[in-house]
Chains A and B, each alone.
Chain A
Amino acid sequence: MTSSLHADRSGPAIDLRGVTKRFTTPGGAVYTALRDLDLEVAPGEFCAVVGPTGCGKSTTLTLVSGLERPSDGTVTVHGRPVDGVTPGVGFVFQNDAVLPWKSVLDNVMLGPRFRSVDARTAREQARDWLRRVGLAGFEDRFPHQLSGGMRKRVALAQSLINEPEILLMDEPFSALDVQTRAIMSNELLQLWDLNRPAVVFVTHDLEEAIALADKVVVLTAGPGGTVKDTFRVDLPRPRVVQEIRFEPRFVDLYHQIWEALRAEVDIAYAQTTRAASEAS
């Protein structure tokens, strides 16, 4: 990508140092989403971030993408501090973010068109990517005519057509049924293998995290989530997501990471029940 020509290739792709993020709630109160968080992702590394609800997982992604700025600390991407929307970043949202008024093809063409690629080339690229995500023949459909899994594929093609060096995914498959989810996870791994962007994959499904990632980062319960522990997943690639969970090493890792995660989940749960009982 032209925009990252001068980027530093030797260092980490993503580097968050001492990052704190506070929000002001509509009531005027200050809410700390992240506190003093350090996170480093190498180029081509697949990093999963897990943690209980409300620990600031998604906030991490909006900081890396440049949609939000940190209140404290620094966010650098390829050695450059993030300032505005980071070039070379793809983002797959939890909810549908494909444009409902554009056909599948027009949706996937958006990225190239925004980068002033001429319409014909953009269309060719879009067709190509739709074929790769298994949606050849659906170019002229509108999103509402597709299933949830198919819309996710459109979203993937829409992001990947920009050939991002960093792919941010915010619980992308959480709205899908279990079978579709496993299939999509597998396909994600195959697509990732094409260009090997650095990935930050936010989820609260630990199984999904281990099956996909090179590294699993566990965040503490919010408010003010921070990194509790980092685990390296040394399972061999290529992996088959549906089967890898039976490997002894997978079970091992699951036990270890769950140990770290469980305490945080308990804390978060206690907080929500307390909040609920105070509210009632």
Chain B
Amino acid sequence: MMTQLAPLTTTGERDVATVNQQAYRQKLRRRRTVVRITQAAVLAVILGGWQLFVGSDPRKVILYGEPSGIGSQLVDWVQHGTALGSLGAQIAVTLEEALIGFAIGTVLGIVSGVALGRIRFLADVFSPYIKVLNSIPRIVLGSVFVLAFGLGIESKILLVIVLVFFGVFFNAFQGVREVDRNLIANATILGGSRWEVTRHVVLPSAFTWIVASLHVSFGFALIGAIVGEFLGAQQGLGQLIKQAQGTFNANGVWAAMVIMALVALAAEFLITRLEGRLLRWRPPQLSGPDL
């Protein structure tokens, strides 16, 4: 975080300020180093403890896996491929399902959220249906989709869409309803048509809400793809996990999880970038600790 000091008037004060600023920066840097070292220590304790606890006892390895085994499993997959084909192909299939479903679900969610938020009649007609749909545990639909659309990626994409849609929809809907009445009145008096007001006032305002929902929604997209693959698939990380589980390969389950974590982190990074771009009009936040 950059800290801006108020401009000072006399040169003497400025010198003092420079010294203070340097000392302050140094303090910040030292603090950051301490945090990093502690983080590494926490990781070392967890992995080391795990490794020591399992202690290469074959029965425990089967039950709990071990960090070194997870590492060699990953190396093995990268070098020789998995039982289902190359590791890259498994990641690609899961990502494809998650991304296509995420894109469609997000667009559908935004369009219907904005439409229902703007058009009272639609909201009145559809609200009971949406409440019912939202109340059922949607993950069950995965079985329906696998039965109806088979083991290919279509059934997973559908499950992802269903999981992503509602989060985005409710945020878009709420975002539209929270738009400052003054802004709408102002744009209307300036001569904006209903569509122009939606485009220039309602959408940008609602985007604060919508973008916030994307973080959670992408998590749901990955869950949808993986669970869809659990329920029946020929390829993908979910299928890989299921197979590892079936062969008592705990290391394999953990290794697939590590890969998923990396994918999720990369996606989170991209969404945060997108957020920064879309919401760059906002005043910089005085932030607390970042998580």
Contacts and interface: CB of A to CB of B under 8 A. Distances in A.
B191 interface: yes
Given A110-B190, A114-B191, A114-B192, A95 B182 contact: yes
A93 B201 CA distance: 16
Interface residues of A, number: 26
Contacts of A224: none
B182 A85 contact: no
Given A99-B201, A110-B200, A114-B196, A162 B191 contact: yes
A91 B282 CA distance: 25
Contacts of A110: 187, 190, 192, 200
Contacts of B188: 67, 85
Interface residues of B, number: 20
A162 B200 CA distance: 18
A93 B192 contact: no
A142 B281 contact: yes
B189 A144 contact: no
A136 to B, nearest CB: 21
A65 B283 CA distance: 32
Interface in B152-207: 180, 182-183, 185-193, 196, 200-201, 204-205
B282 A97 contact: no
Contacts, number: 58
A13 interface: no
Contacts of B191: 87, 111, 114-115, 162
Interface string A129-169: 00000000000001011000000000000110010000000
Given A85-B189, A114-B190, 11 more contacts: A67-B185, A91-B186, A95-B182, A96-B182, A99-B204, A110-B187, A110-B192, A114-B196, A145-B283, A158-B186, A162-B190
15 contacts: A87-B191, A91-B185, A93-B185, A95-B182, A97-B182, A97-B183, A97-B186, A99-B200, A101-B205, A110-B200, A111-B190, A111-B191, A142-B281, A144-B282, A162-B190
Interface of A: 65, 67, 85, 87, 89-91, 93, 95-102, 110-111, 114-115, 142, 144-145, 158-159, 162
The 5 closest A-B pairs by CB, nearest first: A97-B186, A114-B191, A101-B281, A144-B283, A101-B204
